[in-house]
Every structure is written in C-alpha cells, then in structure tokens.
Chain A
Amino acid sequence: EAQVTQNPRYLITVTGKKLTVTCSQNMNHEYMSWYRQDPGLGLRQIYYSMNVEVTDKGDVPEGYKVSRKEKRNFPLILESPSPNQTSLYFCASSPPGGWRGLTDTQYFGPGTRLTVL
C-alpha cells in the first residue's frame, strides 16, 4: 500500500530535549516536505527536499533541521525544542512533475502531535 508514515504520532517532551520525528514513504517520490499546522495559521512549510542530499528552507525553518540521506526517509530534528514548537506536524511526499504541469499531488502522513512543556 502506497503511504507516508510518521513516528511518533504523539509526543510530549520538555524544553531542550533533542527529538527526531521520522518520515518514510514507499512511493519512490523525489520530493518530500515538512509542515506544521497551528490554529488560524494553516499549513506552513518548514523544510523541503527535492532529492537525496538536496534540502532547502521553507517559510518557518527556525529551530528545525532535516536530512535526506536516503530517498525514502526525511527526518525532522528539533535540537532544542521550545514551547512555541508545540504543534501538529505533517510530512508529505510527491513526484517532481510540477514543471510538466501534471497533478502530482502531495501525499501526507498521518501527522505527529508534539507538545513541548
């Protein structure tokens, strides 16, 4: 089954304790991205990756890191989490068809609800 998986689904942690949220897709997609979603602010892009070893900042990258060592995995790293990073996080993947004008919709993972105390 084609899917994007995220782990953990729920996490409560404390300020300053490093954490990693994993994201994996089995569709051989080149593009992957991370979003955070907060009430009234919608989905905001944190980082994206266009292929292995190619990553770039989105709209709200401060306090986050990512890596793309393998095509299928795109972990989100919070080196020193703070309470303002309490949010619902989504990973997404898509094929790189944008320039061809194809639909190439993004497939979203189930979300990770993070609380930083």
Chain B
Amino acid sequence: GQNIDQPTEMTATEGAIVQINCTYQTSGFNGLFWYQQHAGEAPTFLSYNVLDGLEEKGRFSSFLSRSKGYSYLLLKELQMKDSASYLCAVREAGGSYIPTFGRGTSLIVHP
C-alpha cells in the first residue's frame, strides 16, 4: 500500500511563487503524477516524474527525490486562475499501475 501526504491548504499572492510538497511511502515506486483540479471539475494532468530531479514545464515545475520519498510542485508567477486543488498521485510497481491519490492541496491565490 501507499501513504501519501500533502498539506491541506495553502495561500499565496498573485505573481508570487508557491511550492506544494508531497511525501509518500511505497514498497515499489513506479512514477509520481501531479494533477490540477478546479472545483467540481475533472483532474487534469500537470506533470510526471519517475527519475530524480526537476521537470520544468512553463510556469510549473515538479521535483522528485526517490530516496527521500519526496516531491514538490513549484508554481511560478501565480495567477488567479491557479486557485485550485493540486493532487499528488503515486504509481506502485507490481500492482495495477493505476496511481493512488493523496488528499490534495487546496491553493488559494489572493490579488
């Protein structure tokens, strides 16, 4: 099984940078996903990490350290539309290969 932890809620100011952390415990790691979900809508894919290091995609970056069971999602130049929940999901090897989700971090961006 897996244990995935992320903060429940974070607030930040428009134009700033915010880092959302995710820690996990798994018996066989096979990839970590970050999704964005606006209220009442479906999650949409943001990033994927399977090797250690930083993956950059425009304003969003995601970092992974497998030895520490740790990832973060970095959002730069925050915009009001970035107010959403951010879901960390971990895929475990040897199972269904369908990721297990953390409870999500609700990000509120203030003007």
Using a CB–CB cutoff of 8 Å, the interface residues on chain A facing chain B are: 31, 33, 35, 40-45, 48, 50, 56, 59, 88, 90, 94, 96-99, 101, 103, 105-106, 108-111, 113
Using a CB–CB cutoff of 8 Å, the interface residues on chain B facing chain A are: 8, 30-31, 33, 40-45, 48, 50, 87, 89, 91, 93, 96-104
Query: Which residues of B have CB within 8 Å of A35?
Result: 101
What is the predominant secondary structure among interface residues of chain B facing chain A?
A: loop
Query: Which residues of B have CB within 8 Å of A42?
Result: 87, 101-104
- A-B pair number, CB within 8 angstroms: 62
| Choice from A40, A56, A109 contacting B42 with Cβ under 8 Å | A109
Query: Which residues of B have CB within 8 Å of A98?
Result: 30-31, 91, 93, 97-98
Residue of B nearest to A31 (CB): B98
Question: By the criterion CB–CB under 8 Å, are B100 and A45 in contact?
Answer: yes
CA of A41 to CA of B89 in the docked complex: distance in angstroms? 14
